[in-house]
Amino acid sequence: MFTLFKLPYAYNALEPHIDARTLEIHHTKHTQTYVDKLNAALEKYPQFQRLSVKELITDLERIPSEIRTAVRNNGGGVANHELFFHMLSPNGGGSPVGKLAAAIDATFGGFEKFQQQFTAAATGHFASGWVWLSLDNAGKLLIETTPGHDSPLMFDRKPILVCDLWEHAYYLKHQWRRGDSVADWFRVLDWQHAERNFCNP
Ligand code: MN
């Protein structure tokens, strides 16, 4: 069965950009709920309990239809939050590094233009969801948003960066100001981690 992953930093470590109370609730309540609901969905299907959450959501076609939506929503919820939280760091912020920096320059015309397009995609996305920098099959970077807890993994693309657009990710500090929450997310984003996602198959 799945258990809630640990965070590699304290709840107050990302202050003032992400406030401790929102982060704690986000991890111990919202993310825990997705873990619990994923376990409930898989209760009668022990053969799927052995897979990683990433494996579960990458190939949803093999999931029995009666639990497929629950696995999509809650498995996606667990996988997306695990990636999201692990890409944040008290030492984050700054600019892209390494091969990813070069690819962002080549694709978007520089980091500032990338940041503008990414933020515009985030603020333009209707309702809850996620905004991503993904890599497609042809090795091309793209900015995309997904509804609910869908992941680029479900569409044969590889996530490089992800920012949570659900209000629960920023409600106590930023309230309705999604754009401000994305600006603060960039201030704690670990670009070394993004570089590893980009370079590792
Ligand atoms: Mn969330």
The residue type of 155 is F
Residue 50 makes CB contacts below 8 A (sequence gap 6+) with none
| Burial label, 156 (beta-carbon count in 10 A; 0-12, 13-18, 19+) | exposed
Nearest to 99, CA basis, from 163, 192, 189, 185: 192
Per residue in 39-98, pLDDT (tens digit) is 999 999 999 999 999 999 999 999 999 999 999 999 999 999 999 999 999 999 999 999
Q: How confident is the model at residue 196 (pLDDT cuts 50, 70, 90)?
A: very high
- Give the chain's length: 201
**Alpha-carbon gap, residue 135 to 144, rounded angstroms:** 10
The alpha carbon of 23 and the centre of ligand 1 are apart by a number of angstroms equal to 9
**Span from the CA of 50 to the centroid of ligand 1 (angstroms):** 24
Domain carrying residue 179:
98-199
DSSP summary character for residue 96: -
Whether residues 106 and 64 share a domain: the answer is no
Residue 106 Cα to ligand 1 middle (Å): 31
What is the domain count for the chain? 2
Q: How many whole angstroms from 41 Cα to the centroid of ligand 1?
A: 20
> Over the range 49-69, which residues count as b (16 or more CB within 10 Å of their CB) and which as e?
eebebeebbbebeebeeebee
- Per-residue pLDDT, 107: 98
Tell me the CATH number at 38. Answer: 1.10.287.990
Residues 139 and 191 occupy one common structural domain: yes
Distance 69 CA to ligand 1 centre (A): 18
Q: Are residues 144 and 51 in the same domain?
A: no
For residue 13, being part of any structural domain is answered with no
- What is the distance in A from the centroid of ligand 1 to the CA of 35? 12
* Bridge partners for 161 per DSSP: 133
The rounded Å distance from CA 166 to ligand 1 centre is 6
d(CA 192, CA 198): 10
Whether residues 109 and 28 share a domain: the answer is no
